[in-house]
Amino acid sequence: MKALVLGGGSMKGAFQVGVIQAVLENGFEPEMVYGISVGALNATFLANEAGKQHEENNAINWQVAGRKLLEFWIKNITQPQDISTLRSRVMLGMNTLMSRFDGIVDPSPLHQLIRKHLKDEHLTGTPVKTKVGAVNMESGEIKYVDTKDPDFINFVYASSSIPMLMPAVEIGQQLYLDGGLREVAPIRQAIEDGATDIVLIACHSPLLYQPEGMNARNLISLIERVRDITVNQIVNSNILWAESYVDRSILRGKPMTLTVIRPSAPLYLDLQHFSSDDISRLVIEGYRAGTESIIKSEKVQ
């Protein structure tokens, strides 16, 4: 089973979009797509497009699906306000004091964007096995759901809800947040579900980005930095585990293949100040990284 595994990375997900385009152009046709955080958003968009094409043509053109995802980012994610809006300091203070804290920013713009471009019938009818993950804040466990789940879109919201910055999402009287709290690259779940030929696209390099002159007294900057440090460590652990598991697959008599594509150097994007040029830059970097990885693998073969 061919699986496309998409890791988290907030707006660095633009890099992931570029890699996806390169991989799909090269002929990779996933039967399974798994996503966490921004990877959940990208995975859901691909599943939606696959469902739409399957309904219309009884077939999937993955190159077109990749281009549609790229167009979605370029046209709709051009500035921070497209994703979230900063809450007023007065309301933030009052809600915090009264134990009604619901995030420093309001992610309604992102939720509206998701709802506008996704159709329930395309998701439930998609022939591609698709799962996203979010963390239950009470149990601390990560939960994966597929497109048949009636709360699937809410889990996409939750998976992309950055702790502290954004509010937890209530699903079935339980609160859920970003799946990246437990797993940044959901490859373990893909393997458990039968994936044998895997392309994993991460948004973080093996090395941690080191900011210059970071203002640790700026709460949003501090939260972003803590998240970067944590996420970088988790994704490295996820990938090391996956590489070790796949290496031993021959001994188990069930050979597997794993292609990991990630930035060679840390990516940078300021969540508080970015433009369409920044998004385009990351998309191009991703496309280049994806193409270079494909060329390298062809030479090895």
Condensed to tens digits (0 to 9), the pLDDT of residues 39-93 reads: 999 999 999 999 999 999 999 999 999 999 999 999 999 999 999 998 887 777 7
Give the Cα-Cα-Cα angle 179, 255, 292 (nearest 5 degrees): 65
Mean pLDDT (whole number) for 26-32: 96
> Residue type for 75, please?
K
Q: Could you give the C-alpha distances from 80 to 84, 151, 167, 271, in angstroms and in order?
A: 6, 27, 17, 6
In this structure, what are the phi and psi dihedrals at residue 64, rounded to the nearest 5 degrees? -65, -40
Distance CA 52, CA 124 (A): 10
Q: Which of 197, 290, 185 is nearest to 241 (CA)?
A: 185
Question: Is the model's pLDDT at 299 over the cut of 60?
Answer: no
pLDDT per residue over 236-257, tens digit each? 999 999 999 999 987 888 889 9
Mean pLDDT (whole number) for 121-150: 96
Question: Is the model's pLDDT at 121 over the cut of 90?
Answer: yes
pLDDT per residue over 251-293, tens digit each? 888 889 999 999 999 998 888 889 999 999 999 999 999 999 9
pLDDT at residue 130, rounded to an integer? 98
Question: Is the model's pLDDT at 216 over the cut of 90?
Answer: no
Confidence class for position 218, pLDDT limits 50, 70, 90: confident
Confidence class for position 31, pLDDT limits 50, 70, 90: very high
pLDDT per residue over 175-185, tens digit each? 999 999 999 99
pLDDT at residue 133, rounded to an integer? 97
Distance CA 190, CA 198 (A): 9
pLDDT at residue 20, rounded to an integer? 98
Confidence class for position 298, pLDDT limits 50, 70, 90: low
Residues 6+ apart with CB under 8 A from 289: 15, 18, 19, 22, 261, 262, 263, 264
Distance CA 211, CA 225 (A): 9
Distance CA 66, CA 83 (A): 21
Confidence class for position 122, pLDDT limits 50, 70, 90: very high
The beta-carbon contacts of 172-177 under 8 Å, at least 24 apart in sequence, are: 174/136, 174/137, 174/138, 175/136, 175/137, 175/138, 176/134, 176/135, 176/136, 176/137, 176/143, 177/134, 177/135, 177/137
Percent of the chain as helix, strand, coil, to the nearest 5: 50, 15, 35
pLDDT at residue 225, rounded to an integer? 81
Distance CA 68, CA 1 (A): 24
pLDDT at residue 90, rounded to an integer? 76
pLDDT at residue 197, rounded to an integer? 96
Distance CA 224, CA 214 (A): 11
Q: Could you give the C-alpha distances from 83 to 108, 161, 209, 273, in angstroms and in order?
A: 8, 11, 23, 12
Q: Could you give the C-alpha distances from 130 to 41, 127, 156, 168, 177, in angstroms and in order?
A: 11, 9, 11, 22, 19
Question: Is the model's pLDDT at 118 over the cut of 90?
Answer: yes
> Residue type for 121, please?
E
pLDDT at residue 187, rounded to an integer? 96
> In the predicted model, what is the mean pLDDT of the chain?
92
pTM of the model: 0.92
